[in-house]
Amino acid sequence: MSNNAWLIAALPLGAFALIALGARRSPALSAWLTILAIGLGGALSLQVLREIAAGARIEQSMEWLPLGHGLGLTVGFQVDPLTAIMLVVVTSVSLLVQIYSLGYMHGDNGYSRYYAAMSLFTFSMLGLVLANSLLTMYIFWELVGLCSYLLIGHWHERPEASAAAKKAFIVTRLGDFGFLLGILFLYWHAGTLEFRGLEEAAAAGRIPAAALTVGMLLVFCGAVGKSAQFPLHVWLPDAMEGPTPVSALIHAATMVVAGVYLMARTFPLLEHSATAMMVVAVVGGFTAIFAASMGIVANDIKRVLAYSTVSQLGYMIMAIGLGAMSAGMFHLFNHAFFKALLFLCAGSLIHLMDTNDLSAMGGLRRQRPITFIATTIAALSLAGIFPLSGFWSKDEILAAAASTNPLLFAAALATVFLTATYMFRLIFLAFLGNPRGQTHDHPEPLSMTIPLLVLIVPSVASGLLGTALFGNPFGSFLEGRAVTAEVNLPVAGISTAVALAGILLAWVLYGDGRVEASARLAARFQPVHTLLVNRYYMDHLYNGFVARIVLGFGWLSNRIDLSLIDAFVNGIGSTTISAATSMRRMQSGQLQAYAWAFFAGTVALAVVAALPLLMGTR
Amino acid sequence: MPVDFLVAGGFYTFGLASIIGAIGLIVARNVFHSALFLVVTLASVAAVFVILGADFLAAVQVLVYVGAVMILILFGLMLTPVNLEVPHLASAGQAVSGVLVAGAVFIVTTATLVSVQWPKVVGIPSDAPTTEQIGESLFTTYALPFEIASVLLLVAMIGALVIAREG
Amino acid sequence: MPPAFPPLYPITLQHGLILGAALFSIGLAGALTKRNSIVILMAIEVMLNGVNVTFVAFARQLEPAVLTGQVFALFIITVAAAEAAVGLALIIAIYHLRHSVQIDEANELQG
Amino acid sequence: MPSSCFLPAFICDPFAYVGGGLHGALGSNLAEPLPTLILSVAAVAMLTTIIAVVVMSQVWTERRVVAMMQGRIGPNRVGPSGILQPVADAVKLLMKEDIVPFGADRAIFLIAPLIVLVPSLAVWSLVPWGPGLGVADIDVGILLVLGLGAFTTLGILMAGWASSNKYALLGGMRVAAQLISYEIPLVLSAMVPVLWAGTMSLQGIVEAQRGIWNIAILPVGPVAFLLFLTAGIAEVNRSPFDLAEAESEIIAGFHTEYSGMRFALFFLAEYANSFAVGAIASVLFLGGWLGPILPPYVWMFVKAYGVFLILIWVRSTLPRLRYDQLMQFAWKVALPISLATLVITAALVSLTQGSVA
């Protein structure tokens, strides 16, 4: 099966093609095609996982663009433990989200379009995961970006949605530009783009250290954009304009982790550059705390989760930067499940209330008990409470930070505190107290409830895969060798305590759904609150300052273009015209005259060429 | 030897016929007659092809030139009936200079052909059927030109349609 | 090597080449001197045929095993057919415009 | 000598019998190319005679059969059952005055019938009458057959133009457009057996049908046969595609001005062509001279004549098409179908024979 792992990606593409070719006329058919394709893909992924666990490794590539001199571009796919894990994560979360969407998107005008885009997205994401070279990956990387654009802008009739879609696309493109430069840079130095070749080149020291650092930092730019790291994180909160299942799948569990995956994939290269590692770790750590702080004040339930996502992605990036790649991937693995669950829960509430506003919710535990329980479990997991899944991976990351960089450790701990606080603020405001808004009195469709129930399982238990208790199967699998995880008891204790303190603070402030607490706090900490609500004025910065620079630069280029380049081009044109005016007398329009001149010239040339020969013979 | 003699006889007969056809094409005052002289040339050239061992090409020559191109030309003649007979030659100066240049081309070319030492024949010219060989080289060595030629035909067909309809 | 015509018999490469040259030149003379565009088109066909004869002669005498010359002659026939189609379409279009097919009357690019 | 023929050699293959004897007799006295040359001339002369006889029988058959289908008797005065009627007609035509209309392009007017007739006779010389039996078996046979058909068009155009008669001119132009249009499906459908056999030689195509006749190759065989037959009828200007000589519209089309012997030549060519279509169709699709017990040339004749009977049947059954219908059918029906047939055949060949060699 591993030999044909590309099938996993091809299935959703097939679904997409079928929908685009005609199945779109029937929404139900579109949906079921998508679900079928992904379900099959999921089953195949599990099979691949088994084979990989048994020791199989696959890499196939074919020549795409031979450039001579032994250079050339290839496309292909590879399956190794990292890929296998990602395949399972992507297909399983996708499957649940698609099933969830059956109910959530029911009756939407763009139902088929939604499923078509979802299929295309799944294909792109799986392709990205299967890619065996930076180039192949980059192709799917951009496809993923495109799908994200399509899905964020799904309700394109809403101006905010289309603006958010554009923003996501453009901001990530900024990072992608760096990524592309990095690809070219690495190709320049290594002569190949296949991961294996790059790793060998780096290991053999064929890439100069400085070049490796620059190249990896440029590649990291791509990850910064796609995984919404500071300073390109601004698009992700806005991306919540898309349908909630999209947020759950793309902006929590899959696409945004592409950046993390990229860094994990190129980790063997990254390892060789301490500087790049440092930059990656600092950016990740800073993003973690930076985003968490904004989560505290957000009132839009999905934005809270979005900030949380950014913050957790920061965690993962930081882990990779600290050299704990498998811990980062482990966190990615766990996070995918509980964050998807959180988003689906949020979707369930939004479906019920028709609003994202936390202050309009309240007391929903009675109407949606399952959602309440699921949210609480996922939040506890996210906060890192023993023994839920988040605890294990977060603990590994914290332990790595504690042993290498105290400053980052402090930041991470603060993030743990903030995470616990804003998550439980969300829960208290949404579920406790008395209802504050109108609810639709319709029962939740089964297709929405079941994915929640299913996702609770990995949210609780997926962490066990990485515990020392069971011999850390996850880490061993990923590294391809037996790796023992040690529970760093002091760190675990401290982080649990900090998380509990965060929950306590949330209870003190917002327990029983005291929404008015927000206003009181806002008044009390006016400057900080303003700063946070305005997201550190990052968007203003981009709109005002950066945009002005860009526009100024554009103005300058325009002037240069007009006065220098155009003048030159026009000069050539006018010279040609004046030359032509003097020559046009020869152009009588008589075709035969031209032919005559042509042949007369040919004969003359032949005679001239033959003259020496004739002279010589006579 | 007698077979060789037959080949020579055929070559001179049909070569001469083709040249007579070509001259007739130019000299004829009537465009329709010109066209018929062209048929003589084309058919004779096909016969020359057979003598030179290119039987497939000869069949194609007949099929395409006589079957398609000539019919097309005659059709064109019938659709543009004005001035079918009257002015056939350009101004005297142009005619004379044109013939002079053509003659010069012939003399220069022939002089070259005669004086060049051509390489010895590689292998014996065979009269074996050529169809299969041509087909094979068309689809292997010359696959790209073949495809380009097919595209060219398509473009020409569409172009001819468009021009004829809009004109 | 002094220029010398090949003997009349037996037929060699040069016979074919000279026949090709003769056809080409006669066609050229026609193309340069006639006024009727259809006749010019036909003269050009004669030129192409001259080239084809040359190719076939080469194919037989120089590379009997490969037949490159015949393949090229085939391509020339293709091109000639395409040319005839487009050329006649143009002539008919011009005729519709001017009621004449005299080539020296069609000397403006803008109808 | 085919194994299926159990009769004495001079019946099974009289031509080879006689020809071989003659060749042996001549060869003892003359240098090599001459016996072959003399025999070839003899064969052509014999073929011409055969054609004349066959055409006469065709004319008689057609008139009788059409009459039968229309509930008439048909010619029944000259000879038993009117069997000598064609002879009488021929004599009548030959004795008529050979008129060249005033204002006609004399030379072309006189040549045109020959340009029509000669290629149709040449087609006959390519037809294989048995294994190794035929005036000429050349490597690109089918291509040459189709190419020779083009001369017919040319001759008709010449006739139409040279008559300086507007009906003749119209008829000629109609023929030209019709033949150009139908030549494409004709060639394409003829390529189906060529692809199947992997050769363009008519003998080779017949040999390739030893196992199964091409018409029986499903699903393309019957379709290609019908297409070939249809296009063939159009190529020989027979009803329902006889617009070139539609009496009700343009009198007699291109041969309006022809009379006497020259008219007879057109007439002869038309029937010779009809029979040639039958013969070529038999070669391409009906297994040519293949058949049990009877000698090959008999089988060939029977099959070709059978196809000709189909032409008669079609003629007396179907009304004449309108010109736009004719063109529409050629370009919008026959052409796409023949292309599809060709593609499917190529696929079949590559599937069943390994590769499209």
DSSP letter string over A456-506?
HHHHHHGGGGG-GGGT-HHHHHHHTS-------HHHHHHHHHHHHHHHHHH
B155 to C92: CB separation less than 8 angstroms, yes or no? no
Contacts 24+ apart (CB under 8 A), A609-614: A610/B108, A610/B111, A610/B112
Quote the DSSP letter at residue B142.
Answer: T
Closest-CA residue in chain C for B161?
A: C89
A592 to B108: CB separation less than 8 angstroms, yes or no? no
A592 to B98: CB separation less than 8 angstroms, yes or no? yes
State the average pLDDT over residues B37-55.
87
Q: What does R_g of chain D's alpha carbons equal in angstroms?
A: 21
D83 part of a folded domain:
no
D176, D170, D149, D165: which is closest to D258 by C-alpha? D165
Distance, in Å, from the CA atom of B44 to the CA atom of B30, rounded to the nearest integer, reads 21
Rounded to 5 degrees, φ, ψ at B38 are: -60, -40
Whether B161 has its CB under 8 Å from any CB of chain C: the answer is yes
Q: List subunits contacting chain A, requiring 3 or more Cβ pairs under 8 Å.
A: B, C
Q: Is the pLDDT confidence value at D354 over 50?
A: yes
CB atoms within 10 A of CB D310: 13
D136 part of a folded domain:
yes
Q: Please state which CATH number belongs to domain C13-99.
A: 1.10.287.3510
- D222: cis peptide before it, omega within 30°? no
Distance, in Å, from the CA atom of D159 to the CA atom of D177, rounded to the nearest integer, reads 15
HEC secondary structure over A45-101: HHHHHHHHHCCCCEEEEEEEEEEECCEEEEEEEEECHHHHHHHHHHHHHHHHHHHHH
Quote the DSSP letter at residue D319.
Answer: P
Mutual angle of helices D220-235 and D296-317, in 10-degree steps: 70
Query: What is the residue-wise DSSP string for D120-187?
Result: HHHHHHHS--BTTBSS---TTHHHHHHHHHHHHHHHHHHHHHHTT-HHHHHHHHHHHHHHHHHHHHHH
pLDDT at D3: 45
Angstroms from A159 CA to nearest CA on chain C: 50
State the average pLDDT over residues C11-15.
76
D160 part of a folded domain:
yes
Model confidence pTM above 0.80:
no
Task: Spell out the domain ranges in chain C.
Answer: 13-99
pLDDT at D322: 81
- C10: cis peptide before it, omega within 30°? yes
Whether A599 has its CB under 8 Å from any CB of chain B: the answer is yes
C51, C41, C65: which is closest to C17 by C-alpha? C51
pLDDT at A255: 85
pLDDT at B123: 53
A592 to C108: CB separation less than 8 angstroms, yes or no? no
Lowest mean pLDDT among A85-89, B141-145, D97-101: D97-101
What's the pLDDT band for D178 if we cut at 50, 70, 90?
Answer: confident
Preferred mutation among B108, B110, B116 to probe A, highest tally of A CBs within 10 A: B108
D162, C27, A593, D114: which is closest to B30 by C-alpha? D162
Preferred mutation among A588, A592, A596 to probe B, highest tally of B CBs within 10 A: A596
pLDDT at C24: 92
Whether C15 has its CB under 8 Å from any CB of chain B: the answer is yes
A595 to C32: CB separation less than 8 angstroms, yes or no? yes
Question: Which regions of A286-371 does DSSP assign to beta strands (E)?
Answer: none
* Angle, alpha carbons B10-B11-B14 (nearest 5°): 80
What's the pLDDT band for D76 if we cut at 50, 70, 90?
Answer: confident
> Would residue D252 be called left, alpha or beta, if left means φ above 0 and alpha means ψ between -120 and 50 degrees?
alpha
A156: which 2 tokens?
């394109």
Q: List subunits contacting chain D, requiring 3 or more Cβ pairs under 8 Å.
A: B
CB atoms within 10 A of CB D296: 24
- Coil, strand, or helix at residue B8? helix
Angstroms from B65 CA to nearest CA on chain C: 8
Angstroms from B109 CA to nearest CA on chain A: 9
- State the burial class of residue A600 (Cβ atoms within 10 Å of its Cβ: 0-12, 13-18, 19+): middle
Angstroms from A608 CA to nearest CA on chain B: 11
Lowest mean pLDDT among A22-36, A417-431, A510-524, D231-245: A510-524
Is-contact D234 D241, C-beta < 8 A?
yes
C74: which 2 tokens?
């085939």
Quote the DSSP letter at residue C36.
Answer: B
pLDDT at D356: 41
Out of A592, A603, A610, whose CB is closest to B105?
A: A603
Show which of residues 77-96 on chain C sit within 8 Å of chain B, judged by CB atoms: 77-86, 88-96
Residue D206's domain comprises: 99-356
Angstroms from C48 CA to nearest CA on chain B: 11
C31 to A617: CB separation less than 8 angstroms, yes or no? no
Closest-CA residue in chain B for D187?
A: B63
Percent of chain D whose pLDDT exceeds 90: 1
Q: How far is CA A263 from CA A77, A199, A259, A326, A361, in A?
A: 18, 13, 6, 11, 39
| Most confident of the following: A172-181, A356-365, A580-589 | A172-181
Distance, in Å, from the CA atom of A439 to the CA atom of A364, rounded to the nearest integer, reads 9
Quote the DSSP letter at residue D101.
Answer: -
> At a CB cut-off of 8 Å and minimum separation 6, what does D146 contact?
B63, B67, D183, D186, D187, D190
Out of B39, B66, B130, whose CB is closest to D147?
A: B66
CB atoms within 10 A of CB B92: 9
Out of C2, C32, C109, whose CB is closest to A592?
A: C32
Whether B2 has its CB under 8 Å from any CB of chain C: the answer is no
- Counting the structural domains of chain D, the total is 1
pLDDT at D10: 62
How far is C-alpha C82 from the geometric centre of its chain's CA atoms? 13
pLDDT at D355: 46
Whether C23 has its CB under 8 Å from any CB of chain B: the answer is yes
Q: Is the pLDDT confidence value at A288 over 70?
A: yes
> At a CB cut-off of 8 Å and minimum separation 6, what does D327 contact?
D177, D178, D181
Which residues in chain B are contacts of C59 at CB distance < 8 A? 52, 54
Distance, in Å, from the CA atom of D136 to the CA atom of D202, rounded to the nearest integer, reads 10
- Coil, strand, or helix at residue B89? strand
D234, D238, D266: which is closest to D168 by C-alpha? D266
Closest-CA residue in chain B for A607?
A: B108
Out of B41, B53, B109, whose CB is closest to C60?
A: B53
CB atoms within 10 A of CB B124: 7
Q: How far is CA A488 from CA A396, A468, B63, D259, in A?
A: 8, 10, 89, 116
Rounded to 5 degrees, φ, ψ at B19 are: -70, -40
Whether D139 has its CB under 8 Å from any CB of chain B: the answer is yes
B94 to A592: CB separation less than 8 angstroms, yes or no? yes
Whether A592 has its CB under 8 Å from any CB of chain B: the answer is yes
Q: Do chains C and D touch (3 or more CB pairs under 8 A)?
A: no
Q: List subunits contacting chain C, requiring 3 or more Cβ pairs under 8 Å.
A: A, B
B99 to C86: CB separation less than 8 angstroms, yes or no? no
Rounded to 5 degrees, φ, ψ at C37 are: -65, -30
D227 part of a folded domain:
yes
Distance, in Å, from the CA atom of A353 to the CA atom of A399, rounded to the nearest integer, reads 41
Rounded to 5 degrees, φ, ψ at A68 are: 80, 170
Q: How far is CA A281 from CA A229, A275, A287, in A?
A: 11, 10, 10
Whether A600 has its CB under 8 Å from any CB of chain B: the answer is yes
- Coil, strand, or helix at residue C34? strand
A600 to B101: CB separation less than 8 angstroms, yes or no? yes
pLDDT tens digits, residue range D284-318?
888 888 877 777 788 888 888 899 899 888 888 88
Distance, in Å, from the CA atom of D142 to the CA atom of D203, rounded to the nearest integer, reads 10
pLDDT at D247: 66
Closest-CA residue in chain A for B112?
A: A610
Angstroms from B15 CA to nearest CA on chain A: 24
HEC secondary structure over A113-135: HHHHHHHHHHHHHHHHHHECEHH
Which residues in chain D are contacts of B70 at CB distance < 8 A? 150, 154
Angstroms from C31 CA to nearest CA on chain B: 8
Give me the helices (H) in D28-133, please. Answer: 33-69, 85-95, 106-126
Out of D154, D161, D169, whose CB is closest to B39?
A: D154
B59 to D144: CB separation less than 8 angstroms, yes or no? yes
Half-sphere exposure of A314 (CA within 13 A, CB side): 30
Distance, in Å, from the CA atom of D193 to the CA atom of A140, rounded to the nearest integer, reads 48
Angstroms from C106 CA to nearest CA on chain B: 14
C40 to A592: CB separation less than 8 angstroms, yes or no? yes
pLDDT tens digits, residue range D117-171?
888 888 888 888 777 666 667 777 888 888 888 788 888 888 888 887 778 888 8
Residue with tokens 């011999």: A471
State the average pLDDT over residues B13-26.
90
Q: Is the pLDDT confidence value at B85 over 70?
A: no
> At a CB cut-off of 8 Å and minimum separation 6, what does A604 contact?
none
- The amino acid that residue D147 corresponds to is G
pLDDT at C68: 81
ipTM of predicted assembly, 2 dp: 0.68
Q: What is the mean pLDDT of chain A?
A: 83
How far is C-alpha D247 from the geometric centre of its chain's CA atoms? 23
Lowest mean pLDDT among A541-545, D13-17, D81-85: D13-17
pLDDT at D9: 61
D154 to B56: CB separation less than 8 angstroms, yes or no? no
Which residues in chain B are contacts of D164 at CB distance < 8 A? none
Which residues in chain A are contacts of C41 at CB distance < 8 A? none
A599 to B112: CB separation less than 8 angstroms, yes or no? no
Helix (H) or strand (E) holding A593: helix A591-617
> At a CB cut-off of 8 Å and minimum separation 6, what does A532 contact?
A293, A294, A296, A297
B98 to A596: CB separation less than 8 angstroms, yes or no? yes
Instruction: Count CB pairs under 8 A between chains A and C.
Output: 20
- The amino acid that residue A11 corresponds to is L
What's the pLDDT band for C1 if we cut at 50, 70, 90?
Answer: very low
